[in-house]
Amino acid sequence: MISIELYGFGSYFNSNREIANDIDLLILSEDVCTDSINFSIQCKSYLIQMLQSAHVVMLSKSEEKDLDFKNKSKAIFLKRIFPEQMDFQLSNFVRQLD
């Protein structure tokens, strides 16, 4: 089953939300198959549309492992998103940020 993991990093998630001028997010896809990448792109488009200050990085699990991105950026796991629940899950996530 296709899904993505959503992580937050940067000042909004790791220090002071009041002084953060953007929201840094990581979309981590299971692999680089077409369906997985297309779903990641859908999620990124949704987040950018709903959060004008969002900066979204997309990586596959193998790319993240090579870069050690989660560790280096002190990324915090936020939630797993599934295609059949994407609108509901992401809209709830955006509302929680307000």
Q: Is the pLDDT score of 82 beyond 80?
A: yes
Q: What is the pTM of this model?
A: 0.93
Q: Is 89 exposed, middle or buried (0-12, 13-18, 19+ CB in 10 A)?
A: middle
Q: What are phi and psi for residue 21, nearest 5 degrees?
A: -105, 0
Q: Is the pLDDT score of 20 beyond 90?
A: no
79 pLDDT tier (thresholds 50, 70, 90): very high
User: What would the mean pLDDT of 48-65 be, rounded to a whole number?
Assistant: 95
Class of domain 4-97: alpha beta
